[in-house]
Amino acid sequence: MHLRLLGTIWGLVAFALADAGQHPLSAGSWSGRRWDDPPDPDATGHLLFDTAVNLLKHWSNAYHRNGHNVVSVAIPPGTLLYHGRAKLFYHSQGGIYDPTEPPTGPEWLTPDEDHALYFSAWEGHLYTYTATRELRLLYFDGTSAAVLPTGTQDTQDVIIYGNVTEFHWSPFIRITQLCDWAQKYRLDGFVRMEFDFEIMYCNFTDGLKLISDVDVVPAVFDPPEGWVGSLRPKNLVAYETIVAGNWHNWEPLAGMHVDYSKLISFYDPKYRSLVELRRKASSRSEHRLQNISASDVHTLFDDLDDILTRAPTDRGSRFDWRGLMRHIVEQFADRLQYLQHLVHAQDDRRPGEDGEPHDIASLIFNIRQQVLTMLAPYISRRSFATLPGGALNDTWYEQTIARCTSAHTAHLNTTQFTPQEHVLKSAVEETLHEICRTLVLIWRTAYTSESIISFDQQLGLVEGWKSEMDRLINWLDWAVWQQCSPACSEDHMCSVPQWPFDGILNGTERSTPRCISKLHWKPNNWRPSATAGDGMYSLGGQHQI
């Protein structure tokens, strides 16, 4: 370990619920409020929901870079993990590292060959390991391996230093500090993400078996004896690491099991000292753990103690939280996006571009249909008998929202929930409540809208719906809605910018996806190295995998 890239590394291195028996919702909830009250400005349930459903998915964690979750993950025996190292990597204490020797102490592993190959690209080795037993790891979400001063490593800093006051650059110091801390809990390491996922593994001689060692073909110089033709261009070797990360955009990384009953989130409203800074934030990229109070740090360590020393038999409710949250995203993501498109169809309309008649009367009919589609499971046919002619009242709205909000969780027996599961349940309900409330707000005027014939009134309705939808979409800010538009050509891939060599240099950059070339992609910050004038490039802060 303590491998250090000196300047010569080529690698870019570089709610009131109608049902009884609900667990009381935590702070930031909507209890005691009118059905049409907006969410508490300090609410975090939707943030906790969004980060929890996206654990181990690349796209969302690259879009929302600053992670807020710390969660136990397990790697089953037999899982393959890779490590690459090359001739030109240097030991931090000096001296050229011998690439023929696999690591012994703390070092990095990756679940993807193409990620490891990047680090063996100069006459290096690709080492393949298998887990000989279940590996116990702690996962930091977000782009937690990116060495940026803008919050990607706040969670780790709080664990290591107890505060977030300075920028700690060195990944080599960090791995030692985290692995020292890990000993107390007999953790094997940590899962993090940058352009792809990685593992900081604490002891290569414990829990791993080396099963293959290939002296892989170099990418840059010195073709092997007898080689004919070109080698892989270095920019494309680097590009393929981004490709490997993008393999995990929509399905969570395979080979790792997240234990949702052991999910600690800084979006848990009990971490009060983080609220103030969030109020000042203009977007999620400004959600940080700076100014965390000593008592909140104490709470974190108590929670870590709880999850990491819990008896293996205490597995909480064993409910499939990921499955539930995924279902909710599948149920609403495309439909909300399409409804957003419809309420804006008048603005975006360009003659001849779209065969759909988005005249105002059609739009009103179609928008009403879309809202009815989403609310349909929660609307009772009988409820209209006492409210004829469109006289829907507050009781009706409240009951419909309550049914919609609790539909997925009211049945859960909370007796065996871990403390973390109670927080997850609140997060799911808070998220659903706001989706349901917004739909019911639109439905309140859409229900009787088909009989309106005044153009100005029609336009006024759509304008009102538009602002409700814009607000909801912005509040949820789901990464699945970040797409390349227009779609990329066959020769391009849609990708969120990545540190360190694909558009993210200092963390102030936006994470809007764009098309990048499959054939001619180039790192945006390659700089000729002072010590290798022959086409070698360097970037500080990148470690070897």
Among left, alpha and beta (phi > 0; psi -120 to 50; other), residue 158 is alpha
Measured from the CB atom, the residue of 289 and 439 that comes closer to ligand NAG is 289
Q: Whose Cβ is closer to ligand NAG: residue 174's or residue 466's?
A: 174
DSSP 8-state secondary structure symbol assigned to residue 124: -
Q: How far apart are CA 137 and CA 72, in angstroms?
A: 6
Q: Which are the contacts of 495, defined by CB distance < 8 A and separation ≥ 6? A: 242, 246, 502, 513, 514, 515, 516
Q: How far is the CB of 109 from ligand NAG (least distance, A)?
A: 15
In whole angstroms, what is the distance from residue 429 CA to residue 46 CA? 9
Question: Minimum Å distance from CB 400 to ligand NAG?
Answer: 12
395 vs 489, beta carbon nearer ligand NAG: 395
Residues of the shown chain interacting with ligand NAG in the complex, contacts defined by CB under 6 A: 161-163, 165, 203, 205-206, 276-277, 280, 290-291, 386-387, 393-395, 413, 415-416, 505-506, 508-509
Q: How far is the CB of 514 from ligand NAG (least distance, A)?
A: 14
| Residue nearer to ligand NAG on the CB measure, 206 or 320 | 206
Q: Which is nearer to ligand NAG, 209 or 520 (CB)?
A: 209
Tell which residue, 158, 149, 145, 148, has the closest CA to residue 192: 145
Provide the minimum distance between the beta carbon of 181 and ligand NAG in the complex, in angstroms, as a whole number.
12
Residues 6+ apart with CB under 8 A from 80: 111, 128, 129, 130, 211, 255
CB of 521 to ligand NAG, least distance (A): 17
Contact 499, 195 (CB under 8 A): yes
Closer CB to ligand NAG, 115 or 174, in the complex: 174
Give burial (CB, 10 Å; 0-12/13-18/19+) of 321.
Answer: buried
**Under 8 Å CB-to-CB from 250, ≥6 apart: which residues?**
57, 59
- Rounded to a whole number of angstroms, the minimum distance from the CB of residue 96 to ligand NAG is 24
The Cβ-side half-sphere exposure at 534, using a 13 Å CA radius, reads: 3
For the bound state, the minimum distance from the C-beta of residue 377 to ligand NAG, rounded and expressed in Å, comes to 22
Residue whose CB is less far from ligand NAG, 209 or 341: 209
